Structure 1
Amino acid sequence: MALGLFRVCLVVVTAIINHPLLFPRENATVPENEEEIIRKMQVHQEMLQLEQLRLEEEVARLVAEKEALEQVAEEGQQQNEARTSWDLWSTLCMILFLVIEVWRQDHQDGPSPECLGGDEDELPGLEGSPLRGLTLPNKATLGHFYERCIRGATADAARTREFVEGFVDDLLEALRSLGNRDKDLEVEDFIGVGSMYENWQADKPLLCELLVPLTPPEPYHFHPELWCSHHSVPLDRHGYGQIKVAQADEDTPSCICDKTKLGEDMLCLLHGRNHLEQPGGGGDEVAGPLCAQDSPYLDTMQVMKWFQTALTRAWHCIAHKYEFDLAFGQLDTPGSLRIKFRSGKFMPFNLTPVIQFKGSDLYFVSHLPRQPSWGTPASSTDWLLSFAVYERQFLRMTSKALPEGACHLSCLQIASFLLSKQSRLTGPSALGCYHLKTALLHLLLTRRAVDWKAGQLDTRLHELLCFLEKSLLEKKLHHFFIGNHKVPEAMGIPEAVRRAEPLNLFRPFVLQRSLYRKTMDSFYEMLKNAPALISEYSLHLPTDHANLPPKAGVL
């Protein structure tokens, strides 16, 4: 009992002592300090939590960036592996395609099976072609047609050539006698080219095409520059070149006057100048005769103007010897001349000034008369390349290996005749006789000699038209000499021309759709009209067409 009472008293005393109202001064600051400490601890805790959150976000960001980098690296590795595999397959496919193309050019450059008239599969895209259903007249009708419309019309070609050549000889001789040897270009003997000299002239009027080589007066020299194989030259300028005019001493070794200290009053007898003077008159470059302004290159327009003026003076000198008139023919064709007789008949011919390329049979011309060119000159210093002499030589060389009476020229004559008649009906197109001749040259190079017998005229004519249609559909007809390594080396083609990239004569069709459409329409119209035209001209012909008399001459 006493012990319980003692415990109660002890509790009461302790409560009284610890009561804040009995001892206020001793414990007055404790609550305030606790609140400040608690507040600061809360603030610190909040800062720690914020810092923890920031650190967690930073760690998460770093982890995400690391994962992204690893993913990008993995994808890049996969892409590199795929690209390596793709490059390997692309290289293998390219090698395979090149092998196939080389094999095709070496073994299948001949006429395609579709052109042979057999039962082989048709060319893609030719199902609706008029050529697929074209049925040419039989051999007898073709023979009558050829004798009546072509051979009979061109029987006096030899007499025409003889007359024109005699007159041109006299005209050029008069031109030489009136020329100034110190200023004017020198005129050499003419060269006959074209259909009249290749024996495939198919239509009237008979036209002689003559090239007149020009050489510079002393002390100048011509330095032709070919653009056949220059990769820096645009494609539309391939087949062109420039002709630099330089003085003779520009290419010869330097004279001793350039290396030796001579007296001030001493003159060089070779150069005719003081040793202190620079070649060309004090360092000023002197342009050669008929060059473009501020240029050492020969100007086509100035050469043609000089040539026309010289021809006019030469004709006035010899006009009293002839009983006909001479005038320029077509204004858009420089060098086109026309002889007009008193009877009213006329005889056209072309005189084209040319520049020879380094002793070869390749010539630079200012224009190609009656032949479609493969581009437009960018300036008046651009000269076209003419392979007319090589074409004539190739046909002569090939004719010697063909059977007697071969039909290759007959095919070209008939096709040229049909194209000429169609041009008169629907107007001229971009397809010309030069394209026909180029197609024939390709066929001559790939066909066997025995395939050109006289009895194969209808087959070869159909093949020629088929080859031309295929080239038009593909918009690709390569020039026969430029880049053609199959041309015999005996032809003497310059090496720069043989090594050049092939020149596509149908390249303008790729760029000009309206021109291509017009040409295709005209070509197909010609194919549709061909059977009726041949039959019409072959009506009422005698059976023995071999005894047909030739027509009278023009003169």
Structure 2
Amino acid sequence: MSAIKFLTMAVQSIIQLPLMCGDEMDEATREFMQQRAEQLSQEMTRLLQEVKQGSQEQRSLELRSQEQNAFVWGALLFTALQMWQFWAVAGVLVLLFGFCRRLRKRSPEPDSSSKEEESSSGNREQVEKEEEEDDNDADDTGRFLEQHIQWPFQNLATECQEVKDLVANFILISGCMLSKSFLLVLQPAIEVGRAFEGWSPREKDIIYRVLVPLKPPRGHTFHLELDTVGERPARNFCVRVELVCTCTREKLAGEILCFLHHPEEELRRNQDPSLLHTLCTGSYLDVQKTADWFSWLVKAAWPALPLSSKCSLKMLPSSRSCKFQVIKSNNESLTIEMMFGVQQGDSDIFASSQTTEATCTPSTMWSESYAVAEVKFFRHVARQAPHDSFHLKCLQLCARILMGTGFPTSALKTVVMRLLTTRPLSDWRRRDFLPRLEEIMQHLRSCVKEGRLDHFFFGNERVPEEIILPPHFRTAKPLNLFQHMAQDPIAHTRALCEFVEVRNRLTRLLMYGH
């Protein structure tokens, strides 16, 4: 009980502690504290006397222990009371410190935004650095493959220019030779085929192909008739030749006799024969007759060509085109194939003499050619693609792998053209060499497995607008280039087996370079 009383008085002393009013205690406060100290001292003396008067030793020990503890606590509390200014100041400082920290957390420092920007910028730089390292690794892989693979050594750009100059001179000289005849009118040649597209899987035997558009001579007109017999992966046409009346022109200029209204005897005596009597079979323009005439024309014009003084000409056999070699003095040669065709309207699609896959094609049948549209497509891609684009390298390598298999180059080209319009051109750089090769092979495998590969120019909304197509092409039903696989299970199985060999070839090429 005595200890409890002592603690109660100590607590009362703390409660009655006056508030701080300055740096030092006032006089009244000091007197009050002294009185309380004397009262506490007297009370402690009385308590000690009570402890001494206890009769039982155990009770005395317990009281002594309790009161000693009480005395210690009282002394500590009394000392604390004397230091109340120190604790008050310390408390205020703690409160101020806590308040400042709270304000600092709630309102960011003036330069915190810049620090965050610096941190964010640092993070971006780190990410960009990592991405750049990944790109460098991929680019190193692409560079290694480029150097590891034995690419055909080709000087396509120089030789393409030589061919263009040669053919342009030929067209100019031929125009002068044919100016008074009623044979075909030759238009400026259009360079087509893989060499002019910028790629070729071969090192030797590169064939430079050009397409010479044909116009009807005076007094004649052309009509294209679509062959609708059966469903084919490519369309064929017949070029029907008709005579038109030239009586009005004859009266005004007196240049020619009208083939329709003059007697044959008079025509035969005064004028060269019409196209119907020279290069046609019946009423249709004949491909083989036209090819033979082209060969004669090349030989006739050759002496007047600038190259004839330092090169020799060698004609090559071909039933549906004009093919020849220009042999230089250093025994190097250029192989040139001149095809010819009739334009469909003002489009980039022609009915051409281009060789078809059919083993027996009638001489009056002209196959639909997309060669002009294809070369325009690759020129469009070349303008849009990055300078280090590898899309032609991918096409060249895959075509090299497919050589000797049953897969035509036209099918591979269709696959690559479709991927070039569905995947961004920025994904065709050297660093993406391997992924694009794999994607091409996967797409080709999927087409072989399904037995379907849609023609690029039919029903394809992704064809660039600069390529001029006949109006019905964009809405037409696509032609299946793998139709023979869909119709013939044996051909389909053979194609699947050949594709396994193609993948093995690609693996060996990437491993050994050849």
TM range (shorter): 0.5 to 0.7
CA–CA separation in structure 2 for the residues paired with 1:329 and 1:534: 37
Contact 2:139/2:431 (CA < 8 Å) preserved in 1? yes
CA–CA separation in structure 2 for the residues paired with 1:507 and 1:399: 31
* Corresponding position: 1:293 with 2:281: yes
* Cα distance, 1:511 vs structure 2: 4.5
Contact 2:302/2:308 (CA < 8 Å) preserved in 1? no
Q: How far does the alpha carbon of each residue in 1:278-320 deviate from its partner, in whole angstroms, 9 at most, with x for none?
A: 75869xxx873555433x2212122112112212222255598
What does residue range 316-355 of structure 1 map to in structure 2 within 5 Å? Answer: 316=303, 318=305, 321-331=308-318, 334-355=321-342
Equivalent pairs, count: 367
Secondary structure at 2:345's aligned position in 1?
A: coil
1:360 to 347, 353, 360: 347
What does residue range 169-248 of structure 1 map to in structure 2 within 5 Å? Answer: 169-179=168-178, 181-205=180-204, 206-226=206-226, 233-236=229-232, 238-248=234-244
Moved more, 373-382 or 491-500: 373-382
Partner of 1:466: 442
* Cα distance, 1:418 vs structure 2: 2.0
Change (3 A) 1:148 1:533: closer
CA–CA separation in structure 1 for the residues paired with 2:234 and 2:262: 33
Q: How far does the alpha carbon of each residue in 1:216-256 deviate from its partner, in whole angstroms, 9 at most, with x for none?
A: 210112222345xxxx5421385222222123339xxx98x
Partner of 1:166: 165
Secondary structure at 2:239's aligned position in 1?
A: strand
* Cα distance, 1:382 vs structure 2: 1.8
CA–CA separation in structure 2 for the residues paired with 1:280 and 1:237: 45
Q: Which has the higher helix share?
A: 2
Secondary structure at 1:354's aligned position in 2?
A: strand
Change (3 A) 1:183 1:237: farther
What amino acid maps onto 1:500 in structure 2?
A
Moved more, 326-335 or 391-400: 326-335
Q: Which has the higher contact order (CA 8 A, sep 6+)?
A: 1
What does residue range 136-535 of structure 1 map to in structure 2 within 5 Å? Answer: 140=140, 142-147=142-147, 153-154=153-154, 156-179=155-178, 181-205=180-204, 206-226=206-226, 233-236=229-232, 238-249=234-245, 288=276, 290=278, 292-294=280-282, 296-316=283-303, 318=305, 321-331=308-318, 334-368=321-355, 373=356, 375=358, 379-420=362-403, 423=404, 429-511=405-487, 515-535=491-511
Contact 1:430/1:515 (CA < 8 Å) preserved in 2? no
Contact 1:327/1:337 (CA < 8 Å) preserved in 2? yes
Change (3 A) 1:465 1:530: same
* Cα distance, 1:467 vs structure 2: 0.6
Q: How far does the alpha carbon of each residue in 1:495-536 deviate from its partner, in whole angstroms, 9 at most, with x for none?
A: 132233211111233445555555444332121122222332
Change (3 A) 1:400 1:313: closer
Stretches of structure 2 lacking an aligned partner (at least 5 in a row): 1-137, 265-273
Secondary structure at 1:359's aligned position in 2?
A: coil
Contact 2:183/2:275 (CA < 8 Å) preserved in 1? no
* Cα distance, 1:140 vs structure 2: 4.4
Larger-gyration structure (1/2): 2
Partner of 2:102: none
Change (3 A) 1:293 1:321: closer
* Cα distance, 1:164 vs structure 2: 1.9
Change (3 A) 1:320 1:366: closer
Contact 1:142/1:534 (CA < 8 Å) preserved in 2? no
Secondary structure at 1:501's aligned position in 2?
A: coil
Contact 1:188/1:214 (CA < 8 Å) preserved in 2? yes
* Cα distance, 1:200 vs structure 2: 2.2
What does residue range 68-79 of structure 1 map to in structure 2 within 5 Å? Answer: none
Q: How far does the alpha carbon of each residue in 1:67-95 deviate from its partner, in whole angstroms, 9 at most, with x for none?
A: xxxxxxxxxxxxxxxxxxxxxxxxxxxxx
Secondary structure at 1:222's aligned position in 2?
A: strand
Secondary structure at 1:493's aligned position in 2?
A: coil
What is the aligned-residue identity percentage?
Answer: 23
Change (3 A) 1:237 1:281: farther
Q: How far does the alpha carbon of each residue in 1:141-184 deviate from its partner, in whole angstroms, 9 at most, with x for none?
A: 65344346576712x21111122222223333333333363222
Change (3 A) 1:161 1:488: closer
What amino acid maps onto 2:212 in structure 1?
V
What amino acid maps onto 1:243 in structure 2?
V
CA–CA separation in structure 2 for the residues paired with 1:389 and 1:376: 24
Contact 2:454/2:480 (CA < 8 Å) preserved in 1? yes
* Cα distance, 1:375 vs structure 2: 5.0
Contact 2:233/2:480 (CA < 8 Å) preserved in 1? no
TM-score by length of 1: 0.58
CA–CA separation in structure 2 for the residues paired with 1:326 and 1:268: 45
* Cα distance, 1:492 vs structure 2: 2.3
Change (3 A) 1:473 1:183: same
Q: How far does the alpha carbon of each residue in 1:369-416 deviate from its partner, in whole angstroms, 9 at most, with x for none?
A: xxxx46567532221111112112222323444344223222112212
Q: How far does the alpha carbon of each residue in 1:309-359 deviate from its partner, in whole angstroms, 9 at most, with x for none?
A: 212222255598333322233546632222223443322121112222212
CA–CA separation in structure 1 for the residues paired with 2:256 and 2:211: 39
Contact 1:188/1:213 (CA < 8 Å) preserved in 2? yes
Contact 2:142/2:430 (CA < 8 Å) preserved in 1? no
